[in-house]
Chains A and B, each alone.
Chain A
Amino acid sequence: MNPFNSIDYNLIGIMLKSHSSQEQTFDYYASFLRNILDGQENYKALIQPVIVDAKKLVEKKIDYFSISRNGFEVIVFLAKKAPSFFSGLNIANVSNEDYAYMLKLITTPSDLISA
């Protein structure tokens, strides 16, 4: 499930990269968040870097060129989709409600992206 809801992900002719990686990235993070909500605490370590960088991006402490490359699309998406949520988020104490909100964000299809 890709919130960008954008393109046919199969190979399309010559030299078009497969976009399944972007789709997969969102699926993985959605899966991690569901696992956390199911009580699997060890998945928090996989989500935390994304949360930290999304908050830093919102607060302009880092830019697009310096945020983590792993999970890049998800970090930017979350930061653009919910800047006020991340600016107010206490990253040392992320609640299940916060995880549930992030899961809702990245599993909601959208055809718009903030500039």
Chain B
Amino acid sequence: MSYTKELLLLHLTHAKQALERAKNNSYSDQRKETYQKNLFDLFDAVEKDALDNLDTFKDQQIYDGSKKYLDFIIKSLQFLNSSTFNQIPYEIVECLKHAMDDWEDIDKFIIVTSLINDAEAFSYEGWLATDDNLYNDIHTKYPAINFTHRLVQINLPKALARDYLVAVVLYHELGHFVDMKSSISESLLYAILDGIYQNTFSVGELNDLKKYLPNLTDYIDDPDRPDWVPMKAGFDPSLYHLMEYFSDMFASQYVGGMCDLYVTYLCEDKNELSDTHPIIINRRKVVSDFIISAPNFIVNAIAESVQKIKSHPLEKKYADVPDGDFFNLVPLELKTVAEIHGVLHTGWDIWLKYQNVLASNLNSKDPSKIYSVINNLIEKSIGNYISISEWDKVKGTVPPSESDAGYVQSNQLNNQKNILTKSDIRELINQTKLFIRPLLDLDQIGEAGIDFRLGYDFLVSVQGRDAFINASKNEWIQGGQRRNIKQFFQSSRRQLGETFILHPNQTVLAVTLEYIRLPENCMMMLFVRSSYARLGLTISTIAQPGYCGCLSLEFTNTNNNPINLAVGARIIQGILCPVSNSTHYFHSQRKYVCHVRPEPSAVINDNDLSLLNNLWKINNDRP
């Protein structure tokens, strides 16, 4: 057996192990499951071929017959593994899907993400999506295996997976996909080279070419230019530069100049010539000229190439979204696809120009708190658009069920006169003193309360190496060790309509689908609707006057049997009660601000715990 064959066997083993690890992935997307099943089938076929023919394989046959397929399987799994519903940055991927829909048949592509441990790891990897030959090859060799979808692979930094300001860069990466899929920059470069050789450009155009594609300068200036261009020195850098210009213009269709702005910052405004990227000043000029439709030779050349190849113009595709509700600390009500792109631009606009307004509204100058609020509001604005779109697909397809909204399972309400009724609640909403977003059905507002739906994010308690959760400041009992409470919970995500199983005695943190902002003079008490209370489901929550965010739900299942809960179901009823004096929610230090996903307990920040710990240390003579 040759050395190469042994390596092929090693490669087979790696692919098999990768498939084994991916076997239990949960995608919530039938297309990814089908894709993964095809990978298994392909592996079985390749393995059989390899083992049957190993002794007769020559080196080239190892590549042609096996290695390229194993590479494909392993690369596909790298992205599928990071694209389970729990991991994929769902909201931003939805935005990208809508952008892709403008340019390619969305039914043929699946956007997958790989979360990389590198703070600058934004990139697009092309070969699973842009080259049909791979799939034609597989189908020709194994006719029973037909990949009907392609994976569009986008890498992003793990630490920034939920950062909606930085996410604007991903539109640039999507631009690379569109470019490579249609060979836009490459077509243009060949046409440019033909034009130079045949002397069809004016002096001004040639000067623009030298400015924007400086690696062609020597060729342009050579009076005896040959009919060839050096690849490394001329063609490749010029192609890469054109690709960057194209992707910058592509991104600015959806997020204006924000991608360019962030890239400039990341690149530290470097104006050094690189073989891979144009100088920053040129990139900024291309984007700004594109945005304001100023005459620019390279911008026009790219736009014309796109029109010729895609029969579709490069143009502004986002809508300006009024930012007023962000200052009210509630998500925006987005009505169109153009607005879900636009909300990213709006978020940036606030971050750049109006931090002081948000700081005032939040009564905090902490930039990380302001950033977190903007980020959460963007996420929830997009998330609400998705939820409403999903809901509209099924709304009205079943008759309304008999409501038990009038029955509140509680004996804690001692003053019925102080409970707001349906007309009061609707009036508050009309006066924009109470915000509930999304309100999928108006009849969620009952005679004496509001039904809230189960949201799609969960924190599930898990047992780890620590003996207990330390809900005190007393660290002696653990020898000075303190593990973050977050470590005792594992996040999990579902889609609207999916289910979540709550096991007996398990503590699970969830949030309502609805993001609310309460009036400054109303508190809300939350109860499990009686139909769910009868299953053994309990929660314990109130929301303070002026509260804004999704409502936190701390579920415990007191039944002996697991309960399967539908995400989006009306599980909670909120009772609005006026308080005697108006307050300002942010005048007190708040632990949970505008949050849109469940947050683990921040009990450790209670000042009382520090006092109690000091008392214990004094009484026990501890330093």
Residues in A lying within 8 Å of B, measured CB to CB? 4-7, 11-18, 20-21, 24-25, 27-29, 31-32, 34-35, 42-43, 45-46, 63-66, 69-73, 76, 110-115
Contact = CB atoms under 8 A, between A and B. Distances in A.
24 contacts: A4-B231, A4-B235, A5-B231, A6-B232, A6-B236, A12-B276, A14-B121, A14-B267, A15-B122, A21-B126, A42-B140, A46-B133, A63-B191, A64-B188, A65-B191, A69-B309, A71-B133, A111-B230, A111-B231, A112-B231, A113-B229, A114-B229, A115-B197, A115-B228
A66 B94 CA distance: 31
Nearest to A3: B231
- Bin chain B's interface residue count: 35 or more
- Report which residue of A4, A6, A14, A27 has the largest number of chain B beta carbons within 10 angstroms of its beta carbon: A14
Given A12-B276, A15-B169, 8 more contacts: A17-B240, A24-B68, A24-B134, A43-B140, A63-B191, A73-B183, A76-B186, A112-B231
Contact of B190 (A21, A32, A64): A64
Nearest to A29: B133
Contacts, number: 144
B437 to A, nearest CB: 34
A16 B276 contact: yes
Nearest to B259: A15
B122 to A, nearest CB: 5
B120 interface: yes
Contacts of B472: none
B228 A14 contact: no
Closest 7 CB pairs of A and B: A21-B126, A72-B183, A115-B197, A21-B127, A64-B187, A28-B133, A65-B308
A91 B121 CA distance: 46
A46 B180 contact: no
Contacts of B263: 14-15
A70 B133 contact: yes
B64 interface: yes
Given A20-B126, A21-B126, A28 B137 contact: yes
A66 B182 CA distance: 10
B244 interface: yes
Contacts of B121: 11, 14
Contact of A113 (B63, B68, B133, B235): B235
B60 interface: yes
B191 A64 contact: yes
Contacts of A72: 183, 186-187
Interface in B170-195: 172-173, 176, 179-183, 186-188, 190-191, 193-194
Contact of A20 (B125, B191, B230): B125
B123 A24 contact: no
Contacts of B187: 64-65, 72
B228 A114 contact: yes
B130 interface: yes
A11 B123 contact: yes
A3 to B, nearest CB: 9
B6 interface: no
Interface in B258-297: 263, 266-267, 275-277
Interface of B: 60, 63-64, 68, 120-127, 130-134, 136-137, 140, 155, 169, 172-173, 176, 179-183, 186-188, 190-191, 193-194, 196-197, 219, 225-232, 235-236, 240, 243-244, 247, 263, 266-267, 275-277, 305, 308-309
A110 B133 CA distance: 23
A79 B432 CA distance: 66
Given A46-B140, A65-B308, A20 B127 contact: yes
Contacts of B64: 31, 34-35
B183 A69 contact: yes
A76 B190 contact: yes
A11 B155 CA distance: 10
A15 B125 contact: no
A46 B228 contact: no
Contacts of A110: 231
A37 to B, nearest CB: 11
Contacts of B243: 17
A17 B169 CA distance: 13
Contacts of B267: 14
Nearest to A42: B140
Nearest to B193: A115
A21 B134 CA distance: 10
B70 to A, nearest CB: 14
B404 to A, nearest CB: 54
Given A42-B140, A43-B140, A115-B196, A15 B230 contact: no
A22 B183 CA distance: 11
Nearest to A75: B183
Contact of B133 (A4, A18, A25, A111): A25
B134 A34 contact: no
A91 B318 CA distance: 47
A73 B186 contact: yes
Contact of A114 (B227, B247, B308): B227
B308 A17 contact: no
Nearest to B119: A14
A11 B137 CA distance: 25
A15 B227 contact: no
Contacts of B244: 15
Contacts of B182: 69
Contacts of A114: 227-229
A16 to B, nearest CB: 5
A40 B67 CA distance: 19
Nearest to A65: B308
Contacts of A113: 228-229, 231, 235
Contact of B240 (A16, A20, A29): A16
Contacts of B225: 115
A112 B229 CA distance: 6
A111 B132 CA distance: 26
Contacts of A111: 230-232
Given A32-B137, A64-B187, A65-B308, A21 B131 contact: yes
A16 B228 contact: no
Contacts of A32: 133, 137
Nearest to A50: B133
